[in-house]
Amino acid sequence: MYEKKIKGRYNRPRLYVFKSNKHIYAQILDDINNTIIVSSSSLSPLIRPYIDSSSNCKTAALVGKDIAIKSKEIGINKVVFDRGKNLYHGRIKALADSARQQGINF
């Protein structure tokens, strides 16, 4: 099956979400210069004290909130959402909804 490649543009960088069985990671990537602008994960020292388990929707929502706050501080309000090969369900959906509530548009 053919997978479509998602790329960010100059005015809309890419918000990439990766989840493993234990953790969830979110990065805002500049595809033009191939750099990571902002990142957050369930391993972050800012998030770690507030979580009980690192593999649930509550943790994903905290990561989404953190990445949204960090991106708004540097002036990024619009992104292209890239969920990888994951379904838009569960932890991925919780992270996306939390980022939207903080004001990130995608």
Whose tokens are 């998030």? That residue is 47
Nearest to 29 by CA among 4, 3, 9: 9
The pLDDT value recorded for residue 54 is 87
Q: Is the pLDDT of residue 6 over 90?
A: no
Nearest to 56 by CA among 28, 84, 92, 26: 92
Domains of the chain (ranges, CATH numbers)? 14-101 (3.30.420.100)
When pLDDT is averaged across residues 6-24 and rounded to a whole number, the result is 93
Separation CA 80–CA 21 (nearest Å): 24
Model confidence at 7, in pLDDT bands (50, 70, 90)?
confident
Residue pLDDT, tens place only, 23-56:
999 999 999 999 999 999 999 999 999 999 989 9
Opening angle at CA 81, ends 51 and 30, nearest 5: 100
Residue pLDDT, tens place only, 62-97:
999 999 999 999 999 999 999 999 999 999 999 999
